[in-house]
Amino acid sequence: MTPEELKAQLLGEAEAAIDKLLAKRRPANKITLREISQLAIESGQDMQRAVLHTLVQVSQSVEQAPMTCPSCGRAMSAKGKRRRQVVSESGETPVEREYYYCRQCKVGHFPPR
Ligand SMILES: [Zn+2]
């Protein structure tokens, strides 16, 4: 994905968050400061989720360099992708990563990123 494509995708996510915010917003002469504050929090969280999901997807779509075993330094075999739910400071997202196995050490590893 090019930086322009990434920007377009994030702008799309931002637009969806703004549309959702505008749909929920009460008329300007009726809305309270508390409601405005809640909308600001919710739209911030929507953007946070969008950035997390989009950047995780992009980082998973690039080819990984061949992985060497951190213990013995030999080339490891790719054993297919494993999916798991990752909890980060900015929320939860599914992450799918290649899983590697070292026949020498008989241990499995995920790449460091
Ligand atoms: Zn090893």
Each residue of 20-42: pLDDT tens digit?
A: 999 999 999 999 999 999 999 99
- SS3 track for 92-106: EEEEEEEEEEECCCC
The pLDDT score that the predictor gives to residue 10 is: 96
* Ligand 1 ion: residues within 5 Å (CB): 69, 71-72, 102, 104-105
Residue span of the structural domain in which 108 resides = 64-113
Judgement on whether residues 6 and 56 belong to the same structural domain of the protein: yes
Judgement on whether residues 57 and 73 belong to the same structural domain of the protein: no
pLDDT at 55 over 80: yes
Judgement on whether residues 101 and 53 belong to the same structural domain of the protein: no
What is the CA(67)–ligand 1 centre distance, in A?
11
Choose between 110 and 31: higher pLDDT: 31
As for how many domains the chain has, the answer is 2
DSSP state of 26: P
Judgement on whether residues 30 and 9 belong to the same structural domain of the protein: yes
Instruction: Give the gyration radius of the chain's Cα atoms.
Output: 21
pLDDT at 89 over 90: no
The pLDDT score that the predictor gives to residue 39 is: 96
pLDDT at 61 over 80: no
Give mean pLDDT, residues 54-75: 86
The pLDDT score that the predictor gives to residue 67 is: 87
Quick one: 57 exposed, middle or buried, by C-beta within 10 A (0-12, 13-18, 19+)?
Answer: middle
What is the CA(96)–ligand 1 centre distance, in A?
23
Judgement on whether residues 12 and 41 belong to the same structural domain of the protein: yes
The pLDDT score that the predictor gives to residue 113 is: 65
